[in-house]
Every structure is written in C-alpha cells, then in structure tokens.
C-alpha cells in the first residue's frame, strides 16, 4: 500500500511527522522563557522538554506553567475592576 502513494506523499508525511513535534517544542521553549521561573527552573524545564521530546512538553503544559500573579480571569467584569478590589 505504501508503494502506491508515491515519493512526494511519503516525503510530505515524513516531514510532518518529524517537524511538527519540533515546532511544538519551539513553542513550549518560548513559553518557558515568558514565564516567571527562576534561572535554575528555566534551565531544568528546557533540559526536560528537549531530552524527552514527546513527554517533556506535555508534562510542562500540565505541571510547569505558573498562574498569573494578577489573579484569575473573571468573565463579565473588566480586569482593572477586579484588581482594584483586591488591593
């Protein structure tokens, strides 16, 4: 069955399988740099996600993200009103 697809389709399938996780790891790397982790925490998360390609980014998305310091999002209420109430 794979012989019927042709070289172009096989090449495109290979590129998607190889480069899609790589693009995801680049996105998670940018997310790590934007978070408020310590230097050691940032380095450890970067090593973890690049050492374990599929499992590392998934674990970061589950456990590594820090919540915003401004409080949680309240729907139907402007963000400045919520922050002024908590001051």
How far apart (Å, rounded) are the C-alpha atoms in residues 32 and 46?
Answer: 8
Tell me: the pLDDT tens digits for 29-58?
Answer: 999 998 888 999 999 999 999 999 889 988
Domain range annotation of the chain: 2-85
How far apart (Å, rounded) are the C-alpha atoms in residues 57 and 60?
Answer: 5
Tell me: the pLDDT tens digits for 8-22?
Answer: 988 998 888 888 888
Tell whether the torsion through CA atoms of 56, 62, 63 and 66 is positive or negative.
positive
Please tell me whether the overall predicted TM-score, pTM, comes out greater than 0.95 for this model. no
């Amino acid at each position: 069955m794979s012989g019927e697809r042709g070289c172009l389709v096989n090449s495109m399938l290979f590129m998607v399988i190889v480069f899609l996780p790589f693009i995801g790891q680049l996105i998670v790397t940018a997310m790590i740099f934007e978070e408020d982790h310590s230097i050691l925490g940032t380095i450890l998360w970067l090593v973890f996600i690049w050492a374990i390609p599929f499992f590392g980014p998934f674990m970061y998305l589950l456990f590594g993200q820090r919540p915003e310091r401004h409080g949680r999002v309240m729907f139907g209420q402007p963000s400045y009103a919520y922050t002024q109430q908590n001051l």
